[in-house]
A and B are shown apart, each in its own frame.
Chain A
Amino acid sequence: MPLITMKCDELIPERGKHTYITDTENPVIPACNVTTIPGDMTERGCPFAGARGVVGGPIVDIIHMVHSPVGCAYYTWGSRRSLPDWYSWSGPNKLDNAAFNRRYCVTTDMEEKDVVFGGGTKLKKACIEAFKMFPEAKGLFMYTTCTSGLIGDDIPAVAKQVEKTVGKPVFFAQAPGCSGVSQSKGHHVLNHEFYRQIKALREKNPDLCMKEEEKTPYDINLIGDYNMDWDIKAIIPLFEQMGIRVVATFTGNERIENLIKMPDAKLNVVHCQRSAGYIAELINEHAGTTHLDVTLYGIVETSKALRDVGKHFGLEKQAEAVIEKETARIKESIAYYRSKLEGKTVALYVGAPRVWHWIHLMEELGMEIVAMACTFAHKDDYEKINAKAKSNILVIDNPNEFEVEEMLHDYKPDLFLCGLKEKYIARKMGVSTVNSHSYEKGPYADYFGFVNFARDIYQGFYAPVWNFVKNNPSEEVE
């Protein structure tokens, strides 16, 4: 089936290029990763959100300096649940979470005079002052935004000066909010700039590389996992059981010293291929490390991932042992939830990769996908969707609010997996939701995470409130 135009889009014909019905025989790729129509009630964020909020943000032991008027820093303060375990001064009655990525919001708070005269000097002073206030910080990451990008502050020069003064590494990502069509641009910029900077650091200071004697033949990086609600607690032990060591996670709950050692690993296992595939390719280009694209959700996909990694290292037997043990452990739970969820319909709306990560997982639960939507997917994401999805599913690229409503109204999913902004819309329409961005009660990755996920879907669907909603006497459907 070809592209379609939704009823609400009659006046915006361009939107018809973004919407299609899947067909395994004749797959279509919609218009994607293109500019948003002004005034469209888009759900997209900006490149700065991608850089600070998603990819850079989870690094735990460095100061995250946002060079901007106060808002950009304020809104990215502790809002994303990429959880850290960095205890710098924890003790009795002390806060157990002191990591920089969520505890502190550090900003230059640019004012009118900085916009007129330039903010470079202020940024330099701010970085040095921040290092004084947080001597335990292992480095600093500077992020630019619309204003600092527009006035053209020389960020690399400031980084160099601060690095010289303080003697600690200073990184930067120049991804102002107006520099791209969605947060995806920010992921891209951060990957490239960060890798270039760690490469330069390693060349300048070989001590930062992993020592030969430290290396094992089974070193991997977990690329593109941001530790939502402790996903890595589910993921890393699986690899460890196989005899594999995870050198660094890019970037969930990770320390900067480990990230600098990324090029020393033997294999890059790439989970979020949209936001971090770039760095895996860069490492491949420069250090020759191969990378494996994996999905770590659900039994089928996770087992395939472990087999692939096992095959790479000649650890097939170990992989099979882990798969057998873990599958046996959760088989009964999943069978229970499947018996409760079988035949129910679901709509998926996430950034991009989790839509195709979860297609098989939904099938494992016996649920039928009726609609899917992505905020910032590229062509390759839609290729992956088309390769995994059955026919006759509605797919919307960068949906606006009307399209989300029309989809919920016309396709009537029993459950909507979506983010914070959409969940309140869906609930007002009587549709149960599960937060698929930062989870309800995670982790959701891997085997025992799958049980959590199934449980949350079950609890979301069977909550008694929806019975009252269905029989709501004040119901006024148009």
Chain B
Amino acid sequence: MNRGAIKEQPVVINPCKACQPIGAMYATLGIKHAVPLVQGSQGCSTFVRYQFNRHFREPANIAVTSFHEDAVVFGGRRNLIEGIINLVQHYHPEVIGVVTTCSSETIGDDIAAFIKEAKQRLTAEIGAEKAAKTFIVPLRTPSYSGSHVQGYDNGARQYLEQLAQESKPNQKLNIIPGMINPGDIAEIKHLMSAMGAANNMLFDISETLNAPLKMKNSFFPDGGTAAADLVDAANSLGTIALSRHAGGGAATYLLRKFNVPAVLGPFPVGIYNTDLFLEQAVKLTGQPVTAEIKRERGLLLDAMADTCTITALKKVAIFGDPDTVIGVARFASELGMELIAVGTTADSKEFYREIGLIAKEYNCAPQIVADGGLHKLEQVLLQNRVEMLIGNSNGAAIAKQADIPLVRIGFPVTDRVGYQRRPIVGYNGSLWLLDYIVNAFLERK
């Protein structure tokens, strides 16, 4: 493994990451009747809505406090207080996630104090009972540090810090999905219900960002995690954060504060990782792995056996969010493919460790491109005659230039339809991903 290749560069070309606020908004949109309120400029909400619109092909309701010159000079106090009052009076949300940005963090807004003042004014204007119906949660996500992945992690943690409360044990398993797709969440729910394990899916976008066409009777989409379930998360049997980097912080908080056992990862793609995920779910819930799930595992194994010569020794590069890359890299190795390069958003020790383990186990030496951007990955890819790229739509031009197939996974996939509905997790999801990979090779035969 070549760690020396990574050094700080003054310029980043084609970054493999977005900024923190989008991650916090992703988590917020998974809460029932919740609105993210962006404390910043209008671009900070509009651009993010575009991203969600393009990927999910769904409306995304995000409000903004509209920073103009005066906010920069006098601070964002007036904007936030007015914003909260307008939102509550107009839309009656159950949860408002106040998402900070680089501008509000740079000018040093005292978000907690502003929210307190807004609550007082709301109580005076609409009465204590109505005002108490909306949880207002500050989510500190300065855009100039970390990435969207860290934004999700911070957002999820801050929700639980503000909301989770100890009461009676609830016999449920918390699952924090991370920035995965509606299809993935649905597949995890399928596994849980097949096991007969009650789950508390936190930040559940599986319905809010995948809604049927029907005449709506509410401003908010159906689905999402109820605020009460976030409160109740302190009383669960345990927490599994599918993505260590996006949700691990929240799981760890529940462990430290309420002694809820926490499991971080792995991202359940492929045989090894899904086995591990189920093993942990069995341990935490006491429910067994059923014949139905075993059959799904058998189908995946069968398909792997049928196609192993097609995928064998194919050179592959994978990029995306760290947990997705770790999971898919192991699955690609299980298919006999050779890992040439992995690109990710964060310079995380855990990422290096996990990729290192895969490299050792499968005897390969992938180059890790963290922080250099996809342009750097492109160079590695061209030099090494990689035969397949796995990642999001931002790799489309690279794959075209290298004349290799791009297998689209993760967020955002904007230039094809439907991938947000399809899972890549669990045995079923892995099976679909396997078909996709193999067919991409067959197309080129």
Contact = CB atoms under 8 A, between A and B. Distances in A.
A134 to B, nearest CB: 9
Given A108-B10, A122-B10, A177-B103, A429 B43 contact: no
Given A70-B15, A70-B17, A112-B144, A38 B48 contact: no
Interface in A101-126: 103-112, 114-115, 122, 125-126
A295 B68 CA distance: 32
A188 B400 CA distance: 37
B50 A79 contact: yes
A70 B215 contact: no
Contacts of A469: 213
Nearest to A95: B401
Interface string B80-106: 101111110111000000000111001
A150 B103 contact: yes
A477 B191 CA distance: 35
B66 to A, nearest CB: 4
B9 A129 contact: yes
Contacts of A126: 10-11
A463 interface: no
A54 B281 CA distance: 50
Contacts of A405: 219
B35 to A, nearest CB: 8
A126 B11 CA distance: 4
B143 A71 contact: yes
Contacts of A78: 397
Nearest to A124: B10
Contact of A115 (B20, B144, B400, B403): B144
A40 B66 contact: yes
Contact of B47 (A76, A97, A146, A478): A76
A177 B41 contact: yes
Interface string B209-233: 0011111110100000000000000
Interface stretch (B52-60, B156-164, B299-307, B331-339): B52-60
A399 to B, nearest CB: 14
25 contacts: A11-B90, A12-B86, A35-B66, A35-B70, A37-B66, A38-B64, A38-B80, A40-B63, A44-B42, A69-B19, A70-B18, A107-B15, A108-B12, A109-B15, A122-B10, A129-B9, A146-B67, A147-B103, A177-B40, A177-B43, A177-B67, A178-B40, A178-B41, A402-B91, A421-B50
Interface of A: 8, 11-12, 35-46, 48-49, 65, 68-79, 93-95, 97, 103-112, 114-115, 122, 125-127, 129-130, 133, 145-147, 150-151, 176-182, 401-402, 405, 420-421, 424-425, 427-430, 469, 472, 474-478
Interface of B: 9-15, 17-22, 37, 40-44, 46-51, 53-54, 57-72, 78-80, 82-87, 89-91, 101-103, 106-107, 142-145, 147, 211-217, 219, 375, 394, 397, 400-401, 403
Give the top 6 A-B pairs by smallest Cβ distance, nearest first.
Answer: A71-B19, A46-B43, A177-B41, A39-B83, A39-B86, A75-B47
